[in-house]
Amino acid sequence: MIYIYYSYLSEENHESLLKDHLPKFSADFQQKIKKYRRWQDAQLSLMGRVLLFNGIEEIKKTDLRDQEIKYTKFSKPYFEGDSVNFNISHSGEIVICALCNDYEIGIDIEVITDMKINDFKFQMTESEWKRISLSNNKKNAFFDYWTQKEAVMKAHGQGLSMPLKSFEIFENTTNIREEKFYLKEIEIDEYYKCYVSLNANIDNVVLKKYNKN
């Protein structure tokens, strides 16, 4: 089972979010949040943690707020000694968190923007770029592949150290060093693309919007 929690930014609720949630976290994290100059950046970072720990509490009936989030040498976050796997992503006005008990997981969300997609041709395999070029909606096709690749890299655990062109996405699957990864689109907002990736078949997904009120 995959659990996915998401939230939109809210300037109206920002001060109450800081008051209600920030004191629950470590002093170091509180200082990090207070250093942000833009409320949007502070809220994205804070909400990532809120979604993560609320999700853990809901699905595992335990509170891990007193545990330190550690990072591998490739910057993949994890809890030492706990089986929960998680990944957080944000773009534009949305922050999202995916959790899974049994498998490595990655998620990526991107706001669909106007951009020169030809500048990113070198990031795609020849087959992927051909499919993008032949698509009726090249921008959507590009963002499909981009978010898929980002999600896979997060699930695999080597992040940006792995070139996007080093593996190929085909029909929501890919293979990296004899390990197979699966993908599923998460439909949240028509102006965004979002994919979750797992090193196992993706069956049941629970999607929940976090209510700030």
For residues 50 and 25, give the distance between their C-alpha atoms in angstroms, rounded to a whole number: 9
**Model confidence, pTM:** 0.93
pLDDT digits (tens, 9 = 90+) for 197-212: 999 999 899 999 987 6
pLDDT at 113 over 60: yes
Give residue 213's pLDDT. Answer: 54
pLDDT value at position 160?
A: 66
Whether the CB-CB separation of 30 and 22 falls below 8 Å is answered with yes
Residue for token pair 């929690």: 5
CB atoms within 10 A of CB 131: 16
What the chain holds in terms of domains, given with CATH numbers, is 2-209 (3.90.470.20)
* pLDDT tens readout for residues 116-148: 999 999 989 999 999 999 999 999 999 999 999
Secondary structure of residue 105 in the 3-state scheme? strand
Residues of 38-69 as b/e, b for ≥16 C-beta within 10 angstroms?
eeeebbbbbbbbbbbbbbbeebeeeeeeeeee
Average pLDDT for the chain: 92
Query: What is the distance in angstroms between the CA of the first residue and the CA of the last residue of the chain?
Result: 27
More confident residue, 179 or 67: 179
Residue 164 pLDDT = 87
Position 212 scores a pLDDT of 64
Cβ neighbours of residue 4 under 8 Å, at least 6 residues apart? 96, 97, 98, 99, 107, 186, 196, 205, 206, 207, 208
CA–CA dist 59, 76 (Å, integer)? 21
Q: Over the stretch 71-99, which tens digit does the pLDDT of each residue have?
A: 888 888 888 877 789 999 999 999 999 99
